[in-house]
Structure 1
């Protein structure tokens, strides 16, 4: 690899901005899904799942284009694993940008963490990608494509923070990315809110960039992104009651950074409260009482906010599994409802 001066650090340290010629894609474990490297053999399963239904509403592409893109992404991912140069793979990018594709499998509801692997995980439900991985800009786009029956059930919320943690993790454990972004059609408000809850922030809008076939009009394409020094996967998981799994790439360091930032906020809170002026004269008694109350209320609210980020004792061996968290019940209940409706229609 060719080393160049890393302009991000400002310290003149040498750091390569060329992607490795070959990569080993790690398996990543969630609580609802297990991710393994996708293969060309999985493409037929995507067709069987109706993964491209309503593509224009979910990603902004038409169904044919979505299917072609997924097939190219999986082949690019496999070419990188095999060490085939991008420009020689027949599916390369002139800028030598790479793609990583994972197959998403469901995790049995009752399991022990150490027993889950690609053989014990159950249904194939879709794929998740890091697309257009740009080594020079250290940037990539993330995309989830699920089968028709598996959308809106919390699987993306489980998988995305864990994939992003790998993307942001330092090399060689991760990709050493600086930025991860998503592109969301204007009408896909559900995904937009999910991405915001995961820590993405709006960064721009491409006006009339997509054609909305269902409504026979153009629609905007919204772009959201997040940076390595502002993204906290622990907070993103906390928002949905999910646990940290420290065996996933980059997670141990992310947990330490989260604990460090929490400690800094606690110290800042203490300093703010301690620095507030106190009144001592008899005439200022009312102001003193009110000031004490405001300080007390501020401390309570701030402490509640800090503690809300640490609902789950990540390092405790006695932690409760979040198997009955609302997002898991959401998926289970929706599938049960669909099965019941199907049975009634058959009768």
Structure 2
């Protein structure tokens, strides 16, 4: 695992601009904790204080082994976030996580944000990280996200059974579907983007 802190680049697309996440995003991040659908679909069960969110937003740029971007559209306001974390320089791998605010879902912002981050992840240095693999997991109660990931070239690699209690259905559990994209998967899939 890497211990190096790296400069988070700004990534520009047609619809979104990804900029480093920072203290200016604490209010929007705090507000996002009230989005019950997002909390359910991402399996977020932890509770946070406002002070924890403020500290996280203020120190995120100093945390090693990760790249955290705010998703913005039509200005600089936070519309969600996308993260490459668990960066391992030796294995040339990382984990991807995406969250788009409720009012901005279904517009293609998450798709474009993922394309920008995957281009950066797989591009050879110095333009990118030169990764071999990017992984993620998605809950079985979130088929829309799984469909998005598959359309971008992620491959289902496995399943962890009943890892998350579904708060909307007491007594039912959701599986975690493990997905991955190798550099060769990216090359094939990104030709169609």
For the residues of structure 1 that align with 2:101 and 2:119, how far apart are their CA atoms?
A: 24
Instruction: For residue 30 of structure 1, report the CA deviation from its aligned partner.
Output: 1.1
Partner-residue secondary structure (3-state), 1:209: strand
Q: TM-score, normalised by structure 2?
A: 0.85
CA contact (8 A) 1:51 1:126 kept: no
* Paired residues for 1:1-347 under 5 Å: 19=2, 21-49=4-32, 52-62=35-45, 64=47, 74=57, 77-80=60-63, 86=64, 98-107=65-74, 121-216=75-170, 217-232=172-187, 234-237=190-193
CA apart distance, 1:22: 3.6
Cα–Cα, structure 1 residues 177 and 56, in superposed 2: closer, same or farther, change >3 Å?
Answer: same
Contact 1:56 1:63 in 2 (8 A): no
Q: Distance in 2 between matches of 1:72 and 1:231?
A: 35
* Structure 1 alignment gaps of length 5 or more: 1-17, 81-85, 87-97, 108-120, 238-347
Higher relative contact order, structure no. (Cα contacts within 8 Å, ≥ 6 residues apart) = 2
RMSD (Å) for aligned C-alpha atoms: 2.7
Measure the CA separation in 2 of the matches of 1:137 and 1:69.
Answer: 31
Taking structure 1 as the reference length, what is the TM-score of the superposition? 0.50
Higher strand share: 2
Structure 2 unaligned regions, length at least 5 = none
SS of corresponding position for 1:229: helix
Q: Distance in 2 between matches of 1:76 and 1:181?
A: 25
Go from structure 1 to structure 2 and tell me whether the alpha carbon gap of 1:70 and 1:168 turns closer, same or farther (over 3 Å shift).
farther
How far off is 1:50 after superposition?
A: 5.2
